[in-house]
Structure 1
Amino acid sequence: MKCYQRNINTLLSAALLCVSGINSARAEANETTINKTVASINSFNCSADSSWFTHPSLPTEVKQSNGPGDSSFCDFYQFSWQSFAYLMASSKTNPQVLNFQDSTQFNELEVNADGSPANSCDDKHDSHVLFIRTAKPQENGTTFTIPERIGQAGGGATIYDQNNNVVYYDVQFSKNMCDVKKIQQQQNFPGGTTELKTAWKVLGANDDPSQFITMDANITPDLKSTSTTKLGMIGFHLAVATPNHPEFIWATFEHKINAPDCTSPETNTAWSFASKACTADLKDQNALGIVQCRFNNPAPSQSLTGSASEICREYAYGSAKGDLKYDENTQSIQTLNANVQPYLTDNFKVLSNYFNVGALWVSNTSKGSEISNQRGSLRLANTVAETEYQSVDLNADFVSNCFGCHNYTGTSNSGSNTTSNSLSHIFDDIAIGSNQCLDIQAANTINSQPQAKTECPKTCTNSSSKLKWNGQWTNQSASTGEQLPQTVCGCCGA
């Protein structure tokens, strides 16, 4: 007699019903196997808390469910979902915007018309940014436009949805990052330091706006005429430093119809970034078709319309079987994504269309972010924000996950994460735009002025092409007078 087990909750009962017709030893073996499977799932069943949605708040620290100094994978994913829920909740100071859009809580990274950093710290939203601010009136009648915000991180790849419209990006950050001097007197960014990056697509005729976090934007293809366009949020990066985790907890969320999995695609979904034909090629493992579709191979562009990109997700939940603690990681993500669903009602109903892809952190914060010290979704990448960086090879010299690009030095190492300019990629833009100078670590120890004249100009321009050496360098801390572990050069906006 055949048995069909349809879901985890009925595995045990199904096994017991199958005892008839097979010997008792085999039945006991089946029951033992099923019990172990159920126990494995239940051991990593990550629960949600209704208060995240009834009383949204930003968590200040990751729980330590396994004892002092020991957080479970679930603890990190609960931190991520609670943060996401708060950021997607309506602002109490201005209910017309969500918390992550509230300029009283977060500043927006602004750019000038030529793409150079603008002043993001002056609370005047008069530069080229992603969307119209409704929290404050537009100063001087300035129109907010977004032609500069179409490149991804890293190589600046540009992607287009199946309607041939470009994807736009926006960046917000916590207001404390404007106090450059104060932060640079510390080894690490203080707890609560937050960086956010959102990805947006133009909503087409077949898109239901109620299924997206939406925003109206003024798009100026020729920088003269403007048209108001409704955008839907398709990706959300969250990076938050806490007192116990100065490396930042890196989490990412996506819209559920962005792209299919490369190895097990659903063909009955109208994907935003994969055609029916190319999805079918994936399903059928049609080698020639897959090659012709050129999956995950975008290129830089300056056009607001272009050929539709073909994108698939290379690693579900940023993990591959065999990765460290694969089961705990993937099951924590999956069960929490499912367990938040009953709470996604009323204003939070739209969040049922989004899911947590994964998160990344380090195990021992005294050490750096080498792959052996990383935990969570080790191959984490967002399909619409890091399209071309999804082929994460954990054995490569450059591991193209979050820490591959955002290097953390560790609390016991000689460097400082606030002066290395490697952990945060926007800190220098904030400083340059607000006319503040940065202390940046030199690659070598400097012992003389002639050596400084050689090393410091390179140190500044390697951090940003907009920085120039101001003639200052030191091996001593300005705040304590103590010897610094590495020479720092003074760098100011060109």
Structure 2
Amino acid sequence: MKYLFVIALIMTGTLLPAQTIPSDAAPNCPVSSTTFDQWFQSGKPAVDGVVNPANSVGFAKGSTCNFYAWAKQMFLWVTSESGGGRVFDSAAFYDVSPPDSGKRTFLRHDNSNGSFIHSMMLRAAKGGPHDLPIIEDKSGQLFEVMEPPIDHSGKQIVVNSAGNLVEVSKASITSNHRLAFQDKTGNKIELPSAGIRRSESLPTDTIQTAEEFMVNGEPVFIDSSGNIINVEQGQAGGSGVLETQQDGLVYYLTMTNDVYAYFLTKVKNEAIANAEFPTTQAELNDIKKYAAANGKPGFTDEQALTVELKSSWIEVTDATKSNYITTTAMIPVYDTSNPQKWVQTSQRKATLGLVGLHIVGSVKDHPEMIWATFERFGNTPNGAYTYTKADGTTGTVLQSTDGNWLFSKTGSTAPFNIAHMTAKEASIIAAAKQTISPSDSLRVYAWGAGPNNAESNSYLISIHNSVNTLMPKGDIRSNYFLVGATWTTNGTAPPVGITGSTNVANSTMETYTQSTKSTDNVRGCFLCHTGSLAPGTISHIFGGDTNGLQPLFPASSGNSR
């Protein structure tokens, strides 16, 4: 079998093959050289050349390949160099602050004096439909995790059968595998028969809610009937912290573009009912008119429509930064003397290298948006997969951890995707029977589809090989590849009509919520971003009026920011 070998830099500075992509895949998703030339502002590909955003207003859905081509062009656009930085660092984008009492705010990229610096933190793993952490039991059932309330003394509180809040002094597991509680007087706390309500935003039996309790220092999860949930080893509430094999923590950042920011501000300030993300020129013009009335005369790349970016980063050194798309950020500093608990002590400025990127954007006829994700070569080994060869036969790539990986030991055989530690407030806490240490990661669905979906996998391999051939040699953006993208066939509210890479996951952002079970079910983005076309449902950061991302300015001020 012939392969296109991609070279990735090991942190030691040695160059060795780390990842392969078949070069003999059927060329069923080509990008022509004429089309590729038009992506660049200069009309001709050049190393680090500025790329235009895809024309989302004029998007022609056509085939699956059009969606993947949109994703590839958008990646080259947001990572283009612009004004001494990257487009995602420019004034066309805003950072989104971490949640603060349920609210988030836009942070303007003010680069007038070169002083803007991102602030990155550890982040919980992929959230569910209510933006709660997710766990998975051993049968493949998913649960959103709610933590019980805590009183002023730090004790957990539960609701008893009489409906009163009672402080838990002791929790234990009974012989019939249920959770029992005692109050501070030593008496048993009688619990309601079904105290935890099922989530309502997804189809029945898709995701339930569970509650987490600490028993003898280890997390225990119970379902709505009070039964203990049998989870995979190492799960601890879905807030797993990811660390490279070289002991570097992974940090996260969320951004939106300016069209998104003004769309959200208009919708929330004017309380627009039945709003959907814009997909037409008329809807874009309405946002532009609102922005102009509030001090912003225009958008630099308006044809991109609304764009949301979620990214993952690691600290890089002077010796390794040339192999990454980089930015500058403040990151937390931890006291690492205790291998069971690291406590944040301060922050410091650092150079960060991009390892993963979600690009989510609305396009013509698709208010549910296209959800695409990219990773850096050499991040994580793939699970086994098949693909269609150019001669029409089926090729097979076996799972292998040979070579050098950022998030897996060479030759690792299992277990994969088991969190060794979790983020709790300003601390990192080791999971049960673990120390704070790197885990071994595996990208379960190599191309976001089932391992035997050869045709689907070959589309992504084909467009990668086509664009890679056209990319100027030496362009840092060639160090990244499209893992997959998903959308709905007719722009309907998911889960109706989900297509594309339906199991797509980024191994740096959904590391611990990938599943090896129920391979025919949708396990990707629309597992949680689903239920309606309302922006607050599709986009978790958009949220509601009071508990989501806040407008750029209040309705009464009339001043843009």
SS at match of 1:317: coil
SS at match of 2:72: helix
Deviation (angstroms), 1:224: 6.2
Paired letter, 2:447: Y
* Aligned with residue 524 of structure 2, among 378, 401, 418: 401
Following superposition of structure 1 onto structure 2, how do residues 371-410 of structure 1 map, counting pairs within 5 Å? Answer: 373-391=497-515, 399-409=522-532
Structure 1 counterpart of 2:308: 195
In 1, the alpha carbon distance for the partners of 2:354 and 2:3 equals 32
Paired letter, 2:529: H
Give yes or no for contact 1:235–1:252 (8 Å, CA) kept in 2: yes
Structure 1 counterpart of 2:339: none
Q: In the alignment, does 2:225 pair up with 1:100?
A: no
Following superposition of structure 1 onto structure 2, how do residues 463-474 of structure 1 map, counting pairs within 5 Å? Answer: none
Following superposition of structure 1 onto structure 2, how do residues 37-186 of structure 1 map, counting pairs within 5 Å? Answer: 41-47=26-32, 49-55=36-42, 56-61=51-56, 71-91=62-82, 95-102=83-90, 104-111=91-98, 117-120=103-106, 123=108, 134=111, 136=113, 138=115, 145-147=119-121, 149-154=122-127, 155=133, 156-174=239-257, 175-176=261-262, 177-181=264-268, 182=270, 184-186=272-274
TM-score by length of 1: 0.63
In 1, the alpha carbon distance for the partners of 2:97 and 2:322 equals 28
Following superposition of structure 1 onto structure 2, how do residues 332-371 of structure 1 map, counting pairs within 5 Å? Answer: 332-345=459-472, 349-365=475-491, 367-370=492-495
Q: Which has the higher strand share?
A: 2
Following superposition of structure 1 onto structure 2, how do residues 1-40 of structure 1 map, counting pairs within 5 Å? Answer: none
How many pairs does the alignment contain?
Answer: 353
Paired letter, 1:354: Y
Give yes or no for contact 1:212–1:232 (8 Å, CA) kept in 2: yes
Structure 1 counterpart of 2:232: none
In 1, the alpha carbon distance for the partners of 2:505 and 2:78 equals 21
Once the two structures are superposed, residues 392-418 of structure 1 have per-residue CA deviations (whole angstroms, 9 ceiling, x without a partner) of 75678x843111110153xxxxxx513
Once the two structures are superposed, residues 353-391 of structure 1 have per-residue CA deviations (whole angstroms, 9 ceiling, x without a partner) of 1000010011122x43126x1111111100001112221
Q: In the alignment, does 2:376 pair up with 1:255?
A: yes
Structure 2 unaligned segments of length 5 or more: list them: 5-23, 43-50, 128-132, 134-238, 280-304, 335-343, 385-397, 430-435, 553-561
SS at match of 1:218: strand
Q: In the alignment, does 2:198 pair up with 1:211?
A: no
Once the two structures are superposed, residues 79-110 of structure 1 have per-residue CA deviations (whole angstroms, 9 ceiling, x without a partner) of 1111111111122xxx12211121x2111101
Deviation (angstroms), 1:434: 7.0
SS at match of 1:248: strand
Paired letter, 1:331: S
TM-score by length of 2: 0.56
Paired letter, 1:57: N
In 1, the alpha carbon distance for the partners of 2:271 and 2:481 equals 33
Identity within the alignment, %: 25
Following superposition of structure 1 onto structure 2, how do residues 176-325 of structure 1 map, counting pairs within 5 Å? Answer: 176=262, 177-181=264-268, 182=270, 184-191=272-279, 192-203=305-316, 208-221=320-333, 225-263=346-384, 264-278=398-412, 281=413, 290=414, 293-297=415-419, 299-302=421-424, 303=427, 306-321=436-451, 323=453
Give yes or no for contact 2:29–2:460 (8 Å, CA) kept in 1: no
In 2, the alpha carbon distance for the partners of 1:321 and 1:294 equals 17
Deviation (angstroms), 1:44: 4.1
In 2, the alpha carbon distance for the partners of 1:401 and 1:161 equals 23
Paired letter, 2:462: T
Q: In the alignment, does 2:541 pair up with 1:426?
A: yes
Paired letter, 1:403: F
Greater RCO, 1 or 2 (C-alpha within 8 Å, sep 6+): 2
Once the two structures are superposed, residues 161-193 of structure 1 have per-residue CA deviations (whole angstroms, 9 ceiling, x without a partner) of 112222101000122233333583443111311
Paired letter, 1:314: V
Paired letter, 1:89: S
Structure 1 counterpart of 2:9: none
In 2, the alpha carbon distance for the partners of 1:426 and 1:7 equals 40
Once the two structures are superposed, residues 9-62 of structure 1 have per-residue CA deviations (whole angstroms, 9 ceiling, x without a partner) of xxxxxxxxxxxxxxxxxxxxxxxxxxxxx9x92444454612223542112338
Give yes or no for contact 1:393–1:399 (8 Å, CA) kept in 2: no
In 1, the alpha carbon distance for the partners of 2:409 and 2:459 equals 31
In 2, the alpha carbon distance for the partners of 1:295 and 1:77 equals 27
Structure 2 counterpart of 1:472: none
